[in-house]
Amino acid sequence: MRKLDQRALLLVLGVAALVALGVGVVVKWQPSGGGDDGSVTSMTTTTANQAAATARAQPEKQQQPQRSQPKTPPVTTIVVREGEPVGGVAELTYDKGERARFSVTSDSAEEIHLHGYDIGKDVEAGGTVTFDFDADLEGVFEVELEERATQIAQLTVNP
């Protein structure tokens, strides 16, 4: 075959391969092993479904996409000394549906009350209590030492 004929044949095969890929057909060809004339000795055609079945039969080496973990906010610790929050009233902010988590450590026995959600927990002197709940009510809520009526935190739940 002349060089011009070989180039024309390769161009036609290349276009045919692109067309075949566009319609879901895979064309595989192998040049002859014995000669250097570039002639095509075998050509096979498989459908996209057959190619997919072959790919499934081979062991997977691709990495699976990572699923994002739900955002878990850190646990904020509010320290109460002599009936007052150390550092002032804590600002706790969550988005609706998020997990709200905070702890209160106190040097005296108290009831810690979260208004709006109406959650109350008793803390022993020198102890810690943890609040862990779904922030499903929007708004601004007080966390207070119930007996002293002292606010120790403000909990905000955004829409």
- pLDDT tens profile 113-151: 999 999 999 999 999 999 999 999 999 999 999 999 999
Residues 48 and 105 both lie in one domain:
no
Q: Note down the domain range covering 82.
A: 76-158
Q: Is residue 113 in some structural domain?
A: yes
3-class SS of residue 52:
helix
Q: Exposed, middle or buried, 133 (CB in 10 Å: 0-12/13-18/19+)?
A: middle
Domain co-membership, 111 together with 47:
no
The answer to whether position 58 is within a domain reads no
**How does pLDDT run across 89-121, given as a tens digit for each residue?**
999 999 999 999 999 999 999 999 999 999 999
Whether 14 maps to a domain, the answer reads yes
pLDDT mean across residues, the chain: 77
- Predicted confidence at residue 74, as pLDDT, reads 77
Confidence band, pLDDT 50/70/90 cuts, at residue 2:
low
Residues of 107-125 as b/e, b for ≥16 C-beta within 10 angstroms? ebebebbbbebeeeeebee
Q: Are residues 27 and 86 in the same domain?
A: no
In whole angstroms, what is the distance from residue 133 CA to residue 106 CA?
Answer: 21
Name the most confidently modeled range: 8-12, 26-30, 57-61.
8-12
Q: Total domain count for the chain? A: 2
- The verdict on 82 and 37 lying in the same domain is no
